[in-house]
Structure 1
Amino acid sequence: MSDLTCNYQRMLTKAKAQQARSEGACRECLVTEAELQLAGETLEVCGEEFAYDLETGERVLVPVPLCPACHAKAHQDGHGHHLPCQIKARFSRETDLILTS
């Protein structure tokens, strides 16, 4: 895992991490898990995206796998400074629901 502080990583369940890593590649740059392992790294999970369950038609949250480089880029603000993710704020803004700790 990279050195950056990621609020999502703190609340990530093992099942969600395995679900994201099962894609086998970074969602942004498409580098594979096998290529990352050769470099001593692994896919990281940061955030979730809305998707539709094809069987039920319901909206579900799907975890997003990222390589360490894309994960670090995802946490940069417009000035290139580190910005920790605000999962609760974003989730509540996108769904009108409030998450509690």
Structure 2
Amino acid sequence: MSSITCNYQQTVSVAERLSALADAACQHCGISSKDLLSHSEVLEVCAEEFSSDIASGQRELIPVALCPNCHKKHHLDARNNHNPCQITARDSREWLD
């Protein structure tokens, strides 16, 4: 597991984790798990928002495989601070709170 704090990694199921890792490549930069292994790194699972219900505020998250570098970037907010909630971090970047 990553050295960064990731709220999603604490809730993802084994089936979701395996599904996300099935492609064996980072969903953002495309580096393969084989290339990561040569640097003693592995793919990590995080989530991206698939859809949200405006009325209820409910968000549907889908698990995605990320290399450690992209996973860290995924959790950076608008001020380049780490946020354990990747959705809040993304919202911050998009709205520039």
TM-score over 0.5 for the alignment? yes
Distance 1:86 1:39, change over 3 A: closer
Report the TM-score, using the length of structure 1 for normalisation: 0.69
After the TM superposition, which segments of 4 or more aligned residues of structure 1 sit over 4 Å from their partners? none
**Could you tell me how far apart the structure 2 residues matched to 1:18 and 1:63 are?**
9
Deviation at 1:86, TM superposition (A): 6.0
**Which structure 1 segments of 5+ residues have no match?**
52-59, 90-101
Q: Report if aligned partners of 1:49, 1:64 keep a CA contact under 8 Å in 2.
A: no
Aligned length: 80
Identity %: 46
RMSD: 2.1
**Which structure 2 segments of 5+ residues have no match?**
52-59, 89-97
Q: Report if aligned partners of 2:48, 2:62 keep a CA contact under 8 Å in 1.
A: yes
3-state SS of the aligned residue for 1:47? strand
Deviations 1:48-98 (A, max 9, x none): 4539xxxxxxxx8642110000000010011111011166x8xxxxxxxxx
1:45 aligned partner, one-letter code: V
